[in-house]
Amino acid sequence: MTLQDTPPSGTRSGPPASPDSRFASFFDDPRWALAMIRATVLEAAHPAIGAALIENSTFVAHPWRRLRNTFLSMQRMVGADEQTREREAARLNRMHARLKGTDARNRPYDAMDPGARAWVVATLFESSVTMFRLSGQPLEQEFMEELYAEFQDMLGEMGDEPGHLPETLTAFWPYYDKVVAEELENTEAMRVILYKLFDHLPAPPLLSGLPTLWATGRALVAPVVGAIAVASLPEPFRRRAGLPEMPGAHTLMQGAYLAVGLTRFLPARWIAPENVISLLSLTPDSDDPRARTVAALHSRVKRAGALLRLLSPLPDRPEPTGYATPTGYATPPTATAHRHDAEDFFRQVLDQTGNGSLDWPDLAAMARELASRLDLDEPEETRLYQAFADWWRELQAALDTDGDGSVSAQEYAAAAPSLAGPALIRVAEVLFDVTDKDGSQHIDADEYRALFRTAFHREATGADGATYTRSAFVKEFLAFMSGRQRTTPFDPLLAEA
C-alpha cells in the first residue's frame, strides 16, 4: 500500500507539482538559494527541528553533501512522476522516523512530529513569498494561493493529516506570526548556520585543491551572507533572539536579492541548480567529461604554486633526524604520528555530525548517505542500518573506556585497530550486497558509479576489466574504515564535505 493509495482525508488530489507548477519554477531562479538559507535558519530556530539538526545532521561537517542531497530530494518531491514522489516520500518518512531523542534542556524531539514538519513547509512557502517581495516583485494574491495549495499538497504527499497547516492562505499568516512570536528560539543549530557554518565552510570538491583561494573568498563573503540572512528574518524574532544587525544590512539584503535575481537572465545551462551542484561536486576521477578540465586547471594552479615557492626564500630547516638510507634520511614512524593520522581520520570520516565525538548518529549518517546514494528500498535499507548499529555496539564495547556512551578522538586514536572487527566486516558485506543490484557477486561499472559517482577504477577491476569482486570490495572498505588506507573511492563518499 502506497501513500498515494491512501490519501489523507481533506488533502487535494493529484500531484503536488508539475513541470509548469508555481513551486517547480523556483528551482531555476537563483534567488531561491537566498530563500533556502532564510528558510533553513527559521527551521533551525524551531526547538524540535534545531535539536534534530544539531544531534543528527551532517550539515556542520559535510554541508555540500547535505546541500546536494536536499536538492535532489526536493526535486523528487515536486517532480511530475507519481512513483518517484511516492518512493521519495516513503524514504523521507523512514529517515525521519529514526530521528528522535532529547535536546540539551531534556525536551523530547521527534522528526515525525506533524507540527514540526508543517513548520518546515511553512518556512519554505513564506520564504518563497519573501524572496519576491525583497526583489521588488510582490506576488499577486491568486499566485500566492496557488503556491500555498502546492505546499499543502507536499505535506499530503508525505502522508501527514490535514490541519497542521491552516486550510487557507488568510489563516496562514496569523499561524506563522504566532509560531515566530511564541515558539522559535535562539537555538544552537540556528547559531551554527548563521555564524559558524559560513565562516568555516569547507571547500567543495571542485576547489579542494585551492585552499588559500577558497579561504580568502570565504573570509570576505561569509560575514556578508550572515548579515543578509539575519536582516531577512522577521523583526519580532530578531529582537527576541538578540540577533545583531549590521548598519545598512537591509539595503545590503535588498541589493543582494536584486543582484542575484539579475543572473536569471543568463543562459539557463549556466545557472541551472543541478548543473552548478554537480560541477561543485566533481572529483578528479569522476567519469564526468568536465572532470578532465577541472583536473587540468588544478594541475596548472599547483605548478604555479610550486614555481612561486621556488622563487621565494626558503626558511631555515633543522638537521634531518632518523636513520640513513641510500637516498637520504628516513624518519621512523612514531606513536605521535600514528595518533595524528588517527585523529585526522576521526575528524574527517567518523565524526559525521561534527560534534567532536563518535556517537550512533554519526554511523546512522553514514548509513543514511549510503542508502540515499543507492536509492534502497525498505528491506535493504533496514539491513544496512542494522549492520551499522551492530558495528556501533562493537565500537562502544571496544573503545568507550570512560563509559560516557560516546567515543572521543583520543579513545579512538589509542585503539584504532579495534575498528576492524566482525561487525565492520558485516557492514562491508551488506554494503556489497545492496550495491550488487543484479546479484552477480560482482560490482560492475554501473553499480560502481551508482555508489561512488566516479569512473570505474581500473586497478580495482577483475580480469575482464568490468567487475569488482566481493573480496576486493570488503578488503578496501575495511582498510578505509579502520583508517589504514586513504585515497580510496570511499574518501569522496564519506570524507569530503
* Ranges of H-type helices in 312-358: 335-345
Predicted local confidence at residue 401, as pLDDT: 86
DSSP type of residue 11? P
Q: Which residues contact 207 (CB under 8 A, 6 or more apart)?
A: 213, 214, 280
Q: Phi first, then psi: what are they for 265, rounded to 5°? A: -90, 0
Predicted local confidence at residue 312, as pLDDT: 52
Predicted local confidence at residue 363, as pLDDT: 95
Predicted local confidence at residue 1, as pLDDT: 32
Predicted local confidence at residue 288, as pLDDT: 64
Cell for 143?
499566485
Taking a C-beta distance cutoff of 8 angstroms, is the pair 9, 167 a contact?
A: no
* Ranges of H-type helices in 233-267: 235-241, 249-262
Q: What share of the chain is helix, strand, coil (3-state, %, to 5)?
A: 65, 5, 35
Instruction: Please report where in the chains the cell 530563500 appears, as a residue.
Output: 35
Find the length of the chain.
497
pTM of the model as a whole:
0.79
Predicted local confidence at residue 2, as pLDDT: 31
Rounded Cα distance between 215 and 200, Å, is: 9
Cell for 36?
533556502
For the four alpha carbons of 55, 57, 58 and 59, in that order, the dihedral sign comes to negative
Half-sphere exposure of 36 (CA within 13 A, CB side): 15
Predicted local confidence at residue 182, as pLDDT: 94
Burial class (CB in 10 A: 0-12, 13-18, 19+), 484: middle
HEC secondary structure over 96-125: HHCCEEECCCCCEEECCCHHHHHHHHHHHH
Cell for 432?
556489497
Taking a C-beta distance cutoff of 8 angstroms, is the pair 156, 16 a contact?
A: yes
Cell for 86?
511516492
Predicted local confidence at residue 331, as pLDDT: 43
Rounded Cα distance between 471 and 417, Å, is: 20
Total Cβ atoms within 10 A of residue 332: 8
Taking a C-beta distance cutoff of 8 angstroms, is the pair 268, 76 a contact?
A: no
Q: SS3 of 137, please?
A: coil
Instruction: Please report where in the chains the cell 559560513 appears, as a residue.
Output: 198
Taking a C-beta distance cutoff of 8 angstroms, is the pair 188, 50 a contact?
A: yes
**Side chain identity at residue 282, one-letter code:** L
Rounded Cα distance between 358 and 405, Å, is: 9
Q: What is the domain partition of the chain in residue ranges?
A: 24-273, 335-495
Rounded Cα distance between 272 and 373, Å, is: 22
Which pairs count as long-range contacts for 341-348, CB under 8 Å and 24+ apart, including other chains? 341/483, 342/409, 342/412, 342/413, 342/416, 342/483, 343/409, 343/410, 343/412, 343/413, 345/416, 345/483, 345/486, 346/409, 346/412, 346/413, 346/483, 347/409, 348/495
Cell for 493?
563518499
* Residues with pLDDT less than 70, the chain: 1-22, 205-206, 208-209, 270-340, 416-419, 457-466
Taking a C-beta distance cutoff of 8 angstroms, is the pair 78, 362 a contact?
A: no
* Ranges of H-type helices in 210-347: 211-232, 235-241, 249-262, 268-271, 273-280, 290-311, 335-345
**Angle formed by the axes of helices 422-435 and 360-374, to 10°?**
20
Taking a C-beta distance cutoff of 8 angstroms, is the pair 329, 320 a contact?
A: yes
In this structure, whether the domain defined by 335-495 belongs to CATH 2.40.50.140 is answered with: no
Taking a C-beta distance cutoff of 8 angstroms, is the pair 387, 427 a contact?
A: yes
**Side chain identity at residue 201, one-letter code:** L
Q: Which residues pair with 468 in a beta bridge?
A: 443
Rounded Cα distance between 48 and 108, Å, is: 8
